[in-house]
Amino acid sequence: VAVLARPSDEALCWTAPHADSEDDFAGCKGKECSLDKQFKLELCQQLSAWLGWAACAFASWEVICRSIASKQEDLVRHLNETMFDFADCQVARLQPICINGCLGQLPEDAGDILSVGYLQNGKKQGGAKAVAKALDPRRQRLAEFKLQGRTVKEQLDKFVADAHKRGDVYIIVLDQRFFCQQDDSQTGPLQWRSKTILLRLEMQMQTRMAVQLDWTAPSTEDLDLCVRGINLAGEEV
C-alpha cells in the first residue's frame, strides 16, 4: 500500500489523534510521512472491516473493485463514521481503479515463472525467492507495461497529476502485481501482465452547524411532536 498523492490543503488531510507532531506534514521529501503510514494502516483496517474476512481472503481484486463501485455510498459512510469521525475533513466520493498492463510475449523458457503479488498490508505473498528474483527486473520496467496505447506509468502519472491539480484528492495504491499469463494453455504465447489497484478519495471539509432546538408539545388533535432547528442568525433550518 502506498500513498501516491494527498490533498495539498492540510485541512483536507487525515490526521491521527496520536500523530507525532504538527510537523508531520513538513519535510516529507525523500521519505514517507509518519501520518501517511498511519493513514495507510487505518485505511487498510477499515477496508478489511467493511469488506469482511471472506472477501479479503478469497475474492479477487476485480470482485472487490466491483463491490466497492456498487456500494460507494456505503463505504463512504463507513469511512466517515470510523477513521474520519473526529477529523475536520471527510470523504465526499471514492472510486476504485483497476489498471491492467501487458508487456508482450515472453521467451519459451519462462513458463515456470509464477505470479508474485502484494497483500493489503504491503507484505509479499506466495512465490519462491527465485521467482521474485526473476520478476524484479520487470518491476523496474513498469513504464513498458501498456494499456490501450499508454504505459501503466503514464496512466499512474495522469491520475497523480489530476489529483495534484485538484488539491483535494488522495490516490492510494492498494495492490500491484506482476505475473505471467497464457491465454491458451496449449499453444498460446506467454505474456507478462501487471495489475495495479488504486483507490481515489475526494475529500471535503466537515459541515458543522450550531443549532438551537425548539419543540412544541403535541395538541390533543395532532399527536406529532414538532421539533425546529434555529441557527445563530435566528433562521429555521
Query: Partners of 81 in the beta sheet?
Result: none
Put the strands of the sheet holding 150-151 in their side by side order: 2-5, 169-182, 190-205, 89-105, 146-147, 150-151
Query: What's residue 222's pLDDT?
Result: 63
Residue 149 CB contacts under 8 Å (≥ 6 apart), including other chains? none
Please check whether residue 171 is in contact with residue 1, taking contact to mean a CB–CB distance below 8 angstroms: no
Q: CA separation (Å) from 186 to 110, 183, 189, 190?
A: 15, 9, 9, 11
Sign of dihedral through CA atoms 155, 160, 166, 172? positive
**Residue 60 exposed, middle or buried by CB count within 10 Å (0-12, 13-18, 19+):** exposed
The pTM for the full model equals: 0.69
Q: Pick from 75, 81, 77, 78: which is nearest to 95 by CA?
A: 75
Mean pLDDT by 10 residues, the chain (237 residues): 89 69 45 74 93 90 92 95 90 93 60 33 37 44 63 89 95 87 68 88 84 71 71 74
Between CA 80 and CA 77 the distance in angstroms is 5
C-alpha cell of residue 138: 520487470
Please check whether residue 148 is in contact with residue 28, taking contact to mean a CB–CB distance below 8 angstroms: no
Please check whether residue 179 is in contact with residue 116, taking contact to mean a CB–CB distance below 8 angstroms: yes
